[in-house]
Structure 1
Amino acid sequence: MAAPPGVTVVKPSPRLSPAAIDFLAGAGSGAAGVLAGLPLDVVRVRQQIDLKSSRHMITQALSMVRLEGPATLLRGASYPLATITLQNAVVFQTYGMAGRWLSRDPSHRGPLTYSQVFLAGMVAGTVQTAIITPVDLLKIRMQLQTASQGTPGYVGSLRMLGRVVQKEGLLGAYRGFGVCLVRDVPSHGVYFGVYEYLRERLEPGSRLKGNKNPTAMFLAGGAAGVLSWLSVYPFDVIKARLQATSKADSPYTGWVHCGADSWRKEGFRSLWRGLSSTLHRAFICNAALFYTYEWLTQALSGEPD
């Protein structure tokens, strides 16, 4: 039926599904997080593996720039940047879907309990391990190179991928999957749980009303990143050391042997190498990530500012 003369009919704009919003907002926020913390990621990997590296992140970064040039702080960026959109999109979409299933509320209107948040986070961590394991392996091997780009001995990102597949096969790219799973499943529960709890404490009522205070989001996101890393950090050091070399060239038979051998030869502190760089990076990355995620979720769902 035609509208009466002089009456404008406003058609409702198509709305994205909650799963689509989670996916798109996760993709955008993931890229923001990677870009915010790239230099410190290279520094922390060097500290975790190279026993001659400095324990102080600034000294380590300056030494790398002096010896290898400023570009070394962006080394290995191509892999996470190429995959972070998919990885983070999958994490947030899985978290959202798990949360809606746990709440038994298809529209997900009410806030989850903190135990439900923790469980949904662990589900997301389980799923993302399939993506992050080969990405981390390739990134670490790129970051451990000391040759500068364009000089003899430097291996580019595509060539590194080809070398791993040729020498170790496709399964070689998944070296360290077990310890990656041990790291990511609980840490993602902590990650989402801490964020939801602290945001509510900083902005009471935000979980129910959906308020979006920039300061609360920034601080809660940064703290969530720091505490999630602290909860599992030794496993990240073990993973980095295991993935640094192929199975044929490695002195370790597996991740348990790697952890035990590191402790026996270097002491308990060896499993906390690079912690300062990791925590500084975690705060910066995840503050940017959660802030961007919340902003994109609001924009994509058509909520008012």
Structure 2
Amino acid sequence: ICTAHSKPKYRGSLHCLKVIAKEEGFGGLYKGCSALLCRDCSSSAIYFLTYSTLCDWLTPAGKNKPGFLVVLLSGGFAGVLAWGLATPMDVLKSRMQVDESGQHKYRGLIHCARQSVREEGVKVLFKGLGLNCIRAFPVNMVVFVTYEAVLRFTDHFTNKK
């Protein structure tokens, strides 16, 4: 029976850390780490490669720095593409992290992937993809505008000397 007023398991981040370490040991703090590593390594490579390539393609010949609109579009598309690649591993990471200590439904990343696909089909790996992409476009537009602004700001001061 689920009640509307059930108490949360954790009373904050330090309490969460303490409970997980007590119930699952030190390794419990790293559940989902393999999926996180796969997610972040591949998506970061795609993220920066996409941004750089799009900036190069969209910057007119003769200009050495991309314009504001180019940065916005390149950053937005880079974020969407990176999250498109990252979402399946993010789904698996989340499933591994919420696997309760007494339950141990998943023995590792491959087992989690197989079980999830067997039970719910391949579409399970893309849960949240639409929302990730909708969020990723504007967020990464701002990230790269800020990145370029900081680069130009630091270039201004380093070139003065």
TM-score by length of 2: 0.82
**Deviation at 1:248?**
4.0
Distance 1:168 1:297 in 2: 44
Question: What is aligned with 1:153?
Answer: 8
Structure 1, unaligned runs of 5 or more:
1-145
Question: What is aligned with 2:147?
Answer: 293
**Deviation at 1:284?**
2.1
2:60 is aligned with 1:192: no
> Which letter does structure 2 place at the counterpart of 1:160?
C
2:109 is aligned with 1:255: yes
Question: What is aligned with 1:222?
Answer: 76
Distance 1:205 1:165 in 2: 57
1:137-148 maps to which residues of 2 (within 5 A)?
none
2:127 is aligned with 1:273: yes
Question: What is aligned with 1:175?
Answer: 31
Aligned residues: percent identity? 35
> Which letter does structure 1 place at the counterpart of 2:130?
S
Distance 1:174 1:165 in 2: 10
Q: Of 77, 90, 94, which residue of structure 2 is paired with 1:240? A: 94
Question: Can you list the C-alpha shifts for 1:98-125, whole angstroms capped at 9, x where unaligned?
Answer: xxxxxxxxxxxxxxxxxxxxxxxxxxxx
Distance 1:258 1:286 in 2: 30
2:88 is aligned with 1:201: no
Contact residue 226 and residue 283 of structure 1 kept, 8 A: yes
Distance 1:271 1:217 in 2: 30
- Secondary structure, aligned partner of 2:71: helix
**Deviation at 1:247?**
4.6
Question: What is aligned with 1:165?
Answer: 21
> Which letter does structure 2 place at the counterpart of 1:265?
E
TM-score by length of 1: 0.46
**Deviation at 1:256?**
0.8
Contact residue 147 and residue 153 of structure 1 kept, 8 A: no
Distance 1:217 1:267 in 2: 37
2:146 is aligned with 1:284: no
Distance 1:243 1:293 in 2: 32
**Deviation at 1:274?**
1.0
> Which letter does structure 2 place at the counterpart of 1:224?
A
Query: 1:171 and 1:205, CA in 2 relative to 1: closer, same or farther beyond 3 A?
Result: farther
Distance 2:27 2:58 in 1: 45
> Which letter does structure 2 place at the counterpart of 1:279?
C
**Deviation at 1:189?**
1.3
Query: 1:301 and 1:164, CA in 2 relative to 1: closer, same or farther beyond 3 A?
Result: farther
Aligned length: 155
- Secondary structure, aligned partner of 2:107: coil
> Which letter does structure 1 place at the counterpart of 2:29?
A
**Deviation at 1:159?**
1.9
> Which letter does structure 2 place at the counterpart of 1:297?
L
**Deviation at 1:205?**
4.7
Contact residue 237 and residue 272 of structure 1 kept, 8 A: yes
Question: Can you list the C-alpha shifts for 1:112-153, whole angstroms capped at 9, x where unaligned?
Answer: xxxxxxxxxxxxxxxxxxxxxxxxxxxxxxxxxx989xx843
Distance 1:147 1:198 in 2: 49
Question: Can you list the C-alpha shifts for 1:33-66, whole angstroms capped at 9, x where unaligned?
Answer: xxxxxxxxxxxxxxxxxxxxxxxxxxxxxxxxxx
Structure 2, unaligned runs of 5 or more:
none
Contact residue 172 and residue 246 of structure 1 kept, 8 A: no
